[in-house]
Chains A and B, each alone.
Chain A
Amino acid sequence: MIDIPSADAPVDAPRGRVLLIEDEPNIATAIGFLLQREGWRVSTHSDGRTALDAVVRHAPDVIVLDVMLPGQSGFEVLGGLRAGQNGTRADLPVLMLTAKGQTKDRDRAEALGVSRFMTKPFSNRELIEAVRDLARTAPG
């Protein structure tokens, strides 16, 4: 469980908070670096079971969520989030990432109410734009 300190954020005015739920440390490092460079405050969480607690704790504006997580899959986390478990905001924008690349995963994610779905590997620019779009359309 690696929380990248927000102190690392660049001097630009922070765009908002991103919670990155990803268990592959190298991928987490890459995404964290990319988003922080764009002015986001990024928190990273690597366990599926405690993911919703992390959402409550960090109160992010956008969530980036991996599917293959230890303890609980990204789908279950998304389902719990949309159901408002643990008192989370049910309408948080969620960008889901998967390395499986199967359409049935995309279908399942969309059925659960995902905001955006991307397949790994992704282009950095696409990822950054996706998070920016989600933050802009996010309610409240």
Chain B
Amino acid sequence: MNLTFSLLVAVCLAYVTFLFVVAFAGERAAAKGRSLMRGPTIYTLSLSIYSTAWTFYGAVGYAARSGLEFMTIYLGPTLVFIGWWWGLRKLVRIGRAERITSIADMISSRYGKSNLLAVIVTLLAVVGTTPYIALQLQSVTLSFGVFAAPGTQASELTGLAFWVACGLAVFTILFGTRKLDIGERHDGIVSAIAVEAVVKLVALLSVGAFVVWGINGGAAATGEAIATSPVANWTAVPGRWAGLIFVSGAAVICLPRMFQVLVVENSDERHLVTASWAFPAYLMAMCIFVVPIAVTGLARLPAGSNPDLFVLTLPLAEGQGGLALLAFLGGFSSATSMVIVASVALATMLSNHVVMPLWLAAQNRDGSGQAQASISGDVRGVVLRARRASILVVLAMGYLYFLATGGTAALASIGLISFVGMAQVLPALGFGLFWTGATRLGAAAGIVTGFVIWAWTMLVPVLAGPTSVGPFGIEWLRPEAPFGLTGDPLLSAMILSLGLNTFVLCLTSLLTRPTPMEQLQAPRFVQVFDRTAAPRGRRSYHAGAEELLIMAQRILGASEAQEVFAAESRAQGRPSDLPETTPDLLDRLERKLAGSVGAATAHAMVTGITGDAAVSVEDLLAVADETAQIMDYSARLEASSAELVRTAGELRAANDKLTALGHQKDAFLSQVSHELRTPMTSIRAFSEILRGDEADGRVSDEDRARYAGIILDESERLTRLLDDLLDLSVLESGQVVLNPADVTLRTVIDRAVTAAGTVSLGLRIDRDPEGEDVTLRTDPDRLSQVFINLITNAAKYCDADEPALRIAVMAEVDGVIVDFTDNGSGIAAPDRGLIFEKFARLSDQAAAGSAGLGLAICREVMARLGGSIDYLPGQGGAAFRLRLPGETRTAGTARAAE
């Protein structure tokens, strides 16, 4: 088969067309929901983009130069998939739960949705991946060059690289940005790269089989050839091996394209189970014939042949044009699938973390307060355009880098350099998954530190060429020997960058406090497996469901957004209405949006509408208590403790009241005791004196009579006291029975004056005969009791030389006023409030032997009669005003009316 350059181009175009068809078919099948498309096999095959053109062609070259060392590139991922399966599952679980769109989104999301961190990781990814894309373009160009006529100009090949890049851009844009939500994944692209994975494997195995059995004549002979080949003269450097295995293990997780297929494109966590053995098996198959091809190539091809192209040149040299074409397609597949997925991944990062935030900020600057809600136009369109532009930018950068450095040996080592570069994300990712204490600042500081060291020690020597002295003559800054490390440059650069990265991350994390948002996010990642579906309970409910729906429609598309809201409405039991914006809905919505625009942007958009971009008080509580559950628990505790405080307050008040009542009761009993014991003391003392006197006869008759009189007086005082107490108790309890009768006031006063007769002997009483001529309906006995009390009080306490009491009566519209005023010195102002209290006998006037219950009884009686008694100041002597209720008429008027 005679291969011409034009035929090759035609085959390529046919192959690409075939891939387009596959991709279309894949999308159609996925749209119809065929599960076959997203099975574990396809997932495992898509992971094969780990093997790029660098490994497809380069592994043979690597083996030709360094023996089995190329194996490390395959051993790393193998160890990760077999040995760290659990960790991968955690990564995938988080990726699905949080709708992670890229490695940058993952890091950003873990560290409090920090966009700064996302930008740093995006930058790192772009810097690390662009040369790698250039490498793919170069490999395609080189492989074309093998078939080109000897006289072909290099510029023609370069032009070819341009068209390859353009074709890839078209393909990627077509299948990479059809839908917005990354969570829906790129079925077309995954289908295409799965097919390419098969082509790669078949091509390499075919060439290998041809070399072993077709050229060398069997496995045994091949083994012999290997044993005698210079390839066998290699030595494994343990440190370098360990380093390479580690860095390629890190790469299989951290490389943007690997993260894309491993986490973002994963449709079912269980696919990892298959991938954990099938992917290592694929890698082993890919490298099984590497050494034979290398050995045979070195033996058979003319000296100076590029070992990186043995896969192509060996079949060609043996006249196997068809096999060479297959090998070419294998290499082409490796290159294109890597470029496609890498540019999708990078474009996602760029648009979500760089373009969209800038665009949002620009929108915010124009608009007022409710920025996100007032975004005009279709956000979907903006995001898609941003992503398409990003794809073009990524590919353009790759192409330009290829133009700038193409053809130089610089590209050969770029694969490992890229690995180490992206591995700088590993500490942030690893600590983020397992240590809640890792902070945003720690991650940023670690990544930046690693990034700078990596760029200086690995990237600069490639770009600027080897150096012999450090900048400004500072020897320890020389990229090839940083800090005077003169060992394996790759190894020392790797250890230095990753070591300092980790150290700075840990140190900064320990020294800084995580923001509330970080503290919310960290447990969602670290404890993803034991996370219960507790809502974060962090947002206010005032967010407008309508505004949220409008925004969601712009990003998710009308039908899907409406479906999300309708489902929520049904769940809330209000199917005909918009759902309430519960934290649960907001959480779900935010994650849904995160699938399109990344966590940080989605968070900014949702909080922009809900109006609590700042962390709320509940947030802080949640953070303080580390988890939402604890917050909930503590909130309940708080509620019940508030209730306890309230109850305790009520109890205390009740207790105070009881205590006060108790004190009153104590004081009352104490006074009763005093009032009872005082007369009993006299009675007992004189009784003993009189009884003893019968024996000694030392008491005079006069004294004996006096003492007997005292005993009698004190006994009467006791009786009076008991009567008063009982009376008061009946009055106070309200159980008093009144016997109302129509009676004139004069009759009642007459009766009272007569009753007080003996006591009030020295007291002159001035009366008001006309006023008294008024008829009342009242209890005459009770009323006269009050009058007697007032008359005897005046008789006892009026200190005038000629004591006199005036009883004045005034008729009112709805009752009668009776004033009792004496001509004594009255009651001092401070005492006036006390005189109606029980036992309020004013001490200066103690001599009269009254218990001090009189006025208290008067007050109770007047209250029962529906009237009142008050001290009337400013009358010269002691004055009491009584008000009696009822329709009154003077007796005369009454008679006249008859």
A residues near B (Cβ < 8 Å) are 23-27, 29-31, 33-34, 37, 68-71, 99-102, 119-124
Q: A33-B689, A124-B688 are in contact. Are A26 and B674 (CB under 8 A)?
A: no
Asked whether A34 lies within 8 Å of B685 as measured between CB atoms, the reply is: yes
Q: In the complex, what residue of chain A is closest to B696 when comparing beta carbons?
A: A37
Q: A37-B698, A70-B844 are in contact. Are A121 and B673 (CB under 8 A)?
A: no
Asked whether A100 lies within 8 Å of B682 as measured between CB atoms, the reply is: no
Best-surrounded residue of A26, A37, A69 (most CB of chain B within 10 A):
A26
Asked whether B710 lies within 8 Å of A99 as measured between CB atoms, the reply is: no
Cβ contact of B685, chosen from A25, A69, A99, A121, cutoff 8 A: A121
Asked whether A23 lies within 8 Å of B710 as measured between CB atoms, the reply is: no
Asked whether A100 lies within 8 Å of B670 as measured between CB atoms, the reply is: yes
Asked whether B698 lies within 8 Å of A121 as measured between CB atoms, the reply is: no
- Tell me the smallest distance from the CB of A109 to a CB of chain B, in Å: 15
Q: In the complex, what residue of chain A is closest to B844 when comparing beta carbons?
A: A70
Cβ contact of B674, chosen from A34, A71, A100, cutoff 8 A: A100
Bound CA–CA A99/B846 (angstroms): 15
Chain B stretch 640-676: residues in CB contact (< 8 A) with chain A? 670, 673-675
Q: A31-B685, A123-B688, A124-B688 are in contact. Are A26 and B710 (CB under 8 A)?
A: yes
Q: Which residues of A contact B846 (CB under 8 A)?
A: 23-24, 70
Q: In the complex, what residue of chain A is closest to B845 when comparing beta carbons?
A: A70
Asked whether A99 lies within 8 Å of B843 as measured between CB atoms, the reply is: no
Best-surrounded residue of B675, B678, B680, B681 (most CB of chain A within 10 A):
B681
B308 at the interface (CB under 8 A from A): no
Asked whether A25 lies within 8 Å of B847 as measured between CB atoms, the reply is: yes
Q: Which residues of A contact B685 (CB under 8 A)?
A: 27, 30-31, 34, 121-122, 124
Q: Which residues of B contact A123 (CB under 8 A)?
A: 684, 688
Q: Which residues of A contact B843 (CB under 8 A)?
A: 23, 69-71
- Tell me the smallest distance from the CB of A106 to a CB of chain B, in Å: 13
Q: A26-B710, A33-B689 are in contact. Are A121 and B847 (CB under 8 A)?
A: no
Q: Which residues of B contact A122 (CB under 8 A)?
A: 681, 684-685
Tally of contact residues, B, Cβ under 8 A = 26
Asked whether A24 lies within 8 Å of B673 as measured between CB atoms, the reply is: no
- Tell me the smallest distance from the CB of B590 to a CB of chain A, in Å: 70
B714 at the interface (CB under 8 A from A): yes
Cβ contact of A120, chosen from B677, B698, B844, cutoff 8 A: B677
B15 at the interface (CB under 8 A from A): no
- Tell me the smallest distance from the CB of B700 to a CB of chain A, in Å: 11
Bound CA–CA A30/B678 (angstroms): 12
Q: Which residues of A contact B684 (CB under 8 A)?
A: 121-123
Q: Which residues of A contact B678 (CB under 8 A)?
A: 24, 27, 99, 120
Please encode chain B, from 694 to 725, with 1 for each CB lying within 8 Å of some chain A CB and 0 for all others. 00001000010000001001100000000000
- Tell me the smallest distance from the CB of B667 to a CB of chain A, in Å: 10
Q: Which residues of A contact B692 (CB under 8 A)?
A: 124
Q: A29-B710, A70-B843, A100-B670 are in contact. Are A24 and B689 (CB under 8 A)?
A: no
B686 at the interface (CB under 8 A from A): yes
Q: Which residues of B contact A27 (CB under 8 A)?
A: 678, 681-682, 685
Asked whether B677 lies within 8 Å of A121 as measured between CB atoms, the reply is: yes
- Tell me the smallest distance from the CB of B725 to a CB of chain A, in Å: 16
Bound CA–CA A14/B652 (angstroms): 60
Bound CA–CA A100/B681 (angstroms): 12
Q: Which residues of A contact B683 (CB under 8 A)?
A: 121
Bound CA–CA A121/B688 (angstroms): 12
Cβ contact of B682, chosen from A23, A26, A69, cutoff 8 A: A26
Asked whether B689 lies within 8 Å of A34 as measured between CB atoms, the reply is: yes
Q: Which 8 A-B pairs have the closest CB atoms?
A: A70-B843, A30-B685, A99-B677, A26-B682, A120-B681, A121-B681, A121-B684, A99-B674
Bound CA–CA A21/B54 (angstroms): 120
- Tell me the smallest distance from the CB of A104 to a CB of chain B, in Å: 9
Best-surrounded residue of B680, B844, B846 (most CB of chain A within 10 A):
B846
Asked whether A68 lies within 8 Å of B674 as measured between CB atoms, the reply is: yes
Asked whether A99 lies within 8 Å of B689 as measured between CB atoms, the reply is: no
Q: Which residues of A contact B670 (CB under 8 A)?
A: 100, 102
Asked whether A30 lies within 8 Å of B844 as measured between CB atoms, the reply is: no
Chain B stretch 90-125: residues in CB contact (< 8 A) with chain A? none
Please encode chain B, from 847 to 884, with 1 for each CB lying within 8 Å of some chain A CB and 0 for all others. 10000000000000000000000000000000000000
Q: Which residues of A contact B673 (CB under 8 A)?
A: 99-102
Q: In the complex, what residue of chain B is closest to A73 when comparing beta carbons?
A: B843
Q: In the complex, what residue of chain B is closest to A125 when comparing beta carbons?
A: B688
Bound CA–CA A26/B678 (angstroms): 9
Q: Which residues of B contact A33 (CB under 8 A)?
A: 689, 703
Bound CA–CA A24/B714 (angstroms): 11
Further 15 A-B residue pairs, CB within 8 A, beyond A99-B673, A120-B680: A26-B686, A27-B678, A30-B681, A30-B682, A30-B685, A69-B843, A71-B843, A71-B844, A100-B674, A100-B677, A101-B673, A121-B677, A121-B680, A123-B688, A124-B685
Q: Which residues of A contact B688 (CB under 8 A)?
A: 123-124
Bound CA–CA A85/B21 (angstroms): 118
Q: Which residues of B contact A69 (CB under 8 A)?
A: 843
Cβ contact of A30, chosen from B677, B686, B698, B847, cutoff 8 A: B686
Q: A30-B689, A70-B846, A124-B689 are in contact. Are A24 and B682 (CB under 8 A)?
A: yes
Q: In the complex, what residue of chain A is closest to B842 when comparing beta carbons?
A: A70
Bound CA–CA A37/B843 (angstroms): 30
Q: In the complex, what residue of chain A is closest to B678 when comparing beta carbons?
A: A99
Bound CA–CA A68/B847 (angstroms): 13
Q: In the complex, what residue of chain A is closest to B679 when comparing beta carbons?
A: A26
Q: Which residues of B contact A71 (CB under 8 A)?
A: 843-844
Q: In the complex, what residue of chain B is closest to A101 when comparing beta carbons?
A: B673
Best-surrounded residue of B686, B692, B713, B844 (most CB of chain A within 10 A):
B686
Q: Which residues of A contact B674 (CB under 8 A)?
A: 68, 99-100
- Tell me the smallest distance from the CB of B689 to a CB of chain A, in Å: 7
Q: In the complex, what residue of chain A is closest to B706 when comparing beta carbons?
A: A29
Cβ contact of A99, chosen from B681, B713, B844, cutoff 8 A: B681
- Tell me the smallest distance from the CB of A75 to a CB of chain B, in Å: 14
- Tell me the smallest distance from the CB of A65 to a CB of chain B, in Å: 14
Q: Which residues of A contact B703 (CB under 8 A)?
A: 33
Q: Which residues of B contact A30 (CB under 8 A)?
A: 681-682, 685-686, 689, 710
Bound CA–CA A135/B714 (angstroms): 31
